Amino acid sequence: MERLTALSNEAAASGVVLLHENEKGIYGDTPERVLDIMKTVDSPALRVAWDSANFVQVGVKPYTEAYAVLRPYLEYFQIKDAISGTGEVVPAGEGDGELDATIAALKADGFAGFVSLEPHLASTHELGGFSGPVAFGAAARAFAALAAKNGVALA
């Protein structure tokens, strides 16, 4: 926490915003721990990069268990979904990541942060993943369908 605070202070002085992703296998993997980081560091220069699939892979229901407590800190939304029983990464809306509910809530809340596709559909490893053009296309279409369903225009 001391290091994150020091980094956040440097970032703030430079007009930069740092992001903490709820990556599995680190301290900030569950909503409670992410909230602990945000409250302890207490800096507008440290915000949350939300990954629904990572929440699923650590046994969390993202919208149900994390959205309300982490929404005030959410700056960056990664589109990735997973199945809770296996941890398998799947296109948006095909897993247990509650992406439909999360997208609807973000729209209702006036979310103006950033969104990116991070599907990791062809292969994954501890440092990232790969989708390739066909799987990435499937991921993009799945997200576009959820966005359209919720009245979100993609630019």
pLDDT in tens, 110-128: 998 889 998 776 666 565 6
Assigned superfamily of 2-149: Divalent-metal-dependent TIM barrel enzymes (3.20.20.150)
d(CA 112, CA 35): 21
Q: What pTM did the predictor assign?
A: 0.91
Mean per-residue pLDDT for 43-61? 97
Is 135's pLDDT higher than 60? Answer: yes
pLDDT in tens, 78-106: 999 999 999 999 999 999 999 999 999 99
